[in-house]
């Protein structure tokens, strides 16, 4: 049954109660005035008083309920009728304020998040393969939609222009200084140097690297000493030379690794320190950084190349996401499933996720509440008064019609009680 049908049915029920009360009142009144059934006068008086009180109660509640939504009478309404329409602005302000204060305050949001344990709820949801696949599909579709938007010419030009303006206005000096300071803090640059030289040592120990060095030496002998190369075993010399060079370089690397005070380490420290001072204080370095920044911003060849690379990457991602067996979606699905399982297995991780969700929710709630409550207020204020009254009556009018029925019944009950009291008084007064 639709809401209009439910409302009409409730109105009919309330009307039937009033009609029954009115019929009883009229009937008993006629009986009294015509002195019919004198032997039952007490019972007739009781029914009359009950019906009269029920009629008064029902009519009073009818007026109260109807006055909420309609002017009474329609042409020249009396004050304090058509209350909903007359107080539209007040209702909009009060309702939006109530929603903001009771539903979007930081304490309520924090309490809701802490009680719902969103980390575990999310983890249990993601643990299901169907759910993680659905989430991965939504994420993939979102990425695909964003890439499609960025492929549009005007949008792409807007993004490129904004990036170019950002690059031009960006001050590289504090960025480079901060990066160097972060790299040199607690000797991190030496750790980076260790990684570099260790990788270099492993690379030199590979047969392919030694073969490459030997080939370069062989070519050098042929080019620079072609006469001697005819009489000497140049291939053997090149192989031995490659082995000797490799051993020498690896030995030097091992010396650097084993000696924290190695001269090359100190030179590296000095170079980084000088570079940091130049970036911070040298006008020539600042001018060089500015020139580099300007060349990046104005280098059309570089922009064209990067644009083609990004366009190829965009096409690859879009084609993959359109495929039924998308590799990106499969990776996202596995990542989401693994993340859900890790959250379930690690209480510390779950608590951290809950804490960050709570912080994010309490931060976003005020901004979201301003938007949502403003939308509620403006929507209500823009409603037509009649339409607003009809919509509210449609949603709560069914229950208000029960108030009319209850008013009729309670009025009749009170009438019966009053009649009984009247009879007691007359009995004791006789």
Please, what sign has the CA dihedral across residues 140, 142, 148, 153?
Answer: negative
Confidence band for 50, pLDDT divided at 50, 70 and 90: very high
**Predicted local distance difference test score (pLDDT) of residue 183:** 65
Mean pLDDT value across residues 215-239: 53
3-state secondary structure of 77: coil
DSSP structural state of residue 87:
T
3-state secondary structure of 81: coil
Query: What is the C-alpha to C-alpha distance for residues 329 and 317, in angstroms, rounded to an integer?
Result: 10
Per-residue pLDDT of 304-354, as tens digits, reads 777 777 788 888 888 888 888 888 888 989 999 998 899 889 889 888 888
**Predicted local distance difference test score (pLDDT) of residue 64:** 87
Residue 231 has pLDDT above 50, yes or no: no
DSSP conformation letters of 400-429: HHHHHHHHHHHHHHHHHHHHHHHHHHHHHH
Six-digit token string for 219: 């070519």
Question: Between the ranges 157-166, 240-249, 264-273, 412-421, where is the mean pLDDT highest?
Answer: 412-421
Residue 236 has pLDDT above 70, yes or no: no
Helix axis angle for 172-184 and 283-298, nearest 10°, is 110
Q: What is the mean pLDDT of the chain?
A: 78
Helices (H), 152-233: 153-169, 172-184, 188-204, 207-224, 226-231
Looking up tokens 């492993």 gives: 202
For residue 283, whether the previous peptide bond is cis, meaning omega lies within 30 degrees of 0, is no
Q: Among the listed ranges 81-85, 176-180, 243-247, which one has the minimum average pLDDT value? A: 243-247
Mean pLDDT value across residues 387-403: 82
Looking up tokens 């979606």 gives: 329
Cα angle: 174, vertex 176, 182; to 5 degrees: 95
DSSP structural state of residue 2:
-
Query: What is the C-alpha to C-alpha distance for residues 259 and 251, in angstroms, rounded to an integer?
Result: 12
Are 182 and 188 in contact by the 8 Å Cβ rule? The answer is: yes
Looking up tokens 């006008």 gives: 283
Tell me the helices (H) and strands (E) count for the chain, helix number first. Answer: 19, 0
Mean pLDDT value across residues 300-304: 73
Q: Among the listed ranges 245-259, 289-303, 313-327, which one has the minimum average pLDDT value? A: 245-259
**Predicted local distance difference test score (pLDDT) of residue 235:** 55
3-state secondary structure of 260: coil
Cα angle: 194, vertex 195, 198; to 5 degrees: 80
Mean pLDDT value across residues 356-370: 81
**Predicted local distance difference test score (pLDDT) of residue 232:** 45
| 261 φ, ψ (degrees, to nearest 5) | -105, 25
Element (H, E) at 116: helix 106-116
Query: Higher confidence at residue 342 or residue 39?
Result: 342
Per-residue pLDDT of 95-138, as tens digits, reads 888 887 777 777 777 777 777 888 888 888 888 888 888 888 88
**Predicted local distance difference test score (pLDDT) of residue 207:** 66
User: Buried b vs exposed e over 139-166: b needs ≥16 C-beta within 10 Å?
Assistant: bbeeebeebeeeeeeeebeeeeeeeeee
- Please count the residues of the chain: 430
């Amino acid at each position: 049954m639709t809401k209009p049908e439910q409302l009409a049915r409730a109105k009919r029920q309330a009307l039937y109660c009033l009609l029954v009360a009115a019929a009883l009142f009229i009937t008993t009144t006629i009986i009294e005035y015509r002195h019919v059934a004198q032997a039952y006068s007490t019972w007739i008086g009781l029914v009359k008083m009950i019906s009269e009180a029920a009629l008064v109660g029902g009519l009073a509640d009818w007026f109260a309920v109807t006055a909420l939504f309609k002017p009474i009478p329609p042409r020249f309404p009396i004050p304090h009728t058509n209350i909903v329409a007359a107080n539209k602005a007040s209702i909009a302000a009060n309702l939006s304020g109530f929603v903001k204060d009771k539903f979007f305050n930081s304490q309520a949001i924090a309490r809701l998040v802490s009680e719902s344990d969103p980390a575990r709820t999310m983890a249990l949801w993601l643990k299901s393969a169907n759910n993680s696949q659905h989430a991965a599909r939504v994420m993939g579709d979102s990425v695909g939609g964003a890439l499609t938007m960025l492929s549009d010419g005007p949008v792409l030009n807007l993004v490129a222009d904004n990036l170019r303006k950002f690059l031009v206005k960006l001050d590289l000096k504090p960025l480079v200084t901060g990066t160097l300071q972060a790299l040199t803090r607690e000797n991190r640059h030496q750790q980076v140097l260790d990684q570099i030289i260790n990788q270099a040592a492993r690379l030199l120990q590979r047969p392919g690297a030694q073969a490459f060095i030997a080939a370069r030496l062989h070519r050098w002998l042929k080019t620079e000493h072609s006469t001697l190369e005819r009489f000497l075993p140049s291939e053997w010399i090149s192989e031995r030379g490659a082995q000797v060079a490799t051993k020498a370089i690896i030995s030097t690397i091992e010396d650097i690794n084993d000696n924290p005070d190695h001269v090359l380490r100190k030179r590296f420290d000095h170079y980084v320190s000088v570079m940091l001072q130049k970036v911070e204080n040298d006008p020539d370095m600042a001018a060089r950084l500015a020139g580099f920044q300007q060349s990046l911003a104005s280098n059309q060849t570089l922009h064209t190349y990067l644009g083609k690379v990004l366009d190829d990457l965009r096409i690859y991602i879009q084609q993959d996401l359109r495929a039924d067996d998308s590799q990106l979606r499969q990776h996202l699905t596995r990542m989401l499933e693994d993340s859900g399982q890790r959250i379930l297995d690690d209480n510390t991780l779950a608590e951290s996720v809950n804490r960050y969700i709570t912080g994010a929710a309490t931060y976003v709630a005020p901004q979201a509440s301003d938007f949502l409550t403003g939308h509620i207020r403006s929507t209500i204020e823009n409603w037509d008064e009649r339409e607003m009254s009809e919509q509210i009556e449609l949603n709560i009018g069914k229950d208000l019609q029960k108030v009319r029925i209850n008013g009729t019944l309670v009025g009749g009950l009170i009438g019966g009680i009053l009649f009984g009291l009247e009879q007691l008084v007359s009995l004791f007064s006789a």
